[in-house]
Amino acid sequence: VQLQASGGGLVPGGGSLRLSCAASGTIFSINDMAWYRQAPGKQRDLVAVITRAGNTNYEDSVKGRFTIARDNAKNTVFLQMNSLKPEDTAVYYCNAQVRISAAFSFAREYWGQGTLVTVSS
């Protein structure tokens, strides 16, 4: 299973970006999908998570600005980021809990390669 993230870039403060992450390979189903971010010199933190049913949860600092969504048919998760701030600058990683077979009830965690988001002041 591979996760391919895209959509990062340089944007001025107040601007918007949309990140995408597509999962490919041997996939039976995907449970939770999420976006994390890691700023320079800091730990990787959860930004937003979405269940297969579409229930979402957000880190407090992005509530009202970021929206996570997914397309189950395409095994893809999105992160729409609006009203971006310089403190949102980080490498953003997608994460997915993947079941590779109907014969196995457990899901394994996979990570994308990261996409850099830089917000200028």
- Sign of the CA dihedral with 59 first, then 63, 65, and 71 last: positive
Q: What is the pLDDT of residue 61?
A: 97
For residues 45-58, give the mean pLDDT. Answer: 98
Give the span between the Cα atoms of 110 and 3, in whole angstroms.
7
For residues 81-94, give the mean pLDDT. Answer: 98
> Are 44 and 37 in contact, with CB atoms under 8 Å apart?
yes
Residue 104 has pLDDT above 90, yes or no: no
Mean pLDDT of the chain: 97
Alpha carbons within 13 A on the beta-carbon side of 85: 8
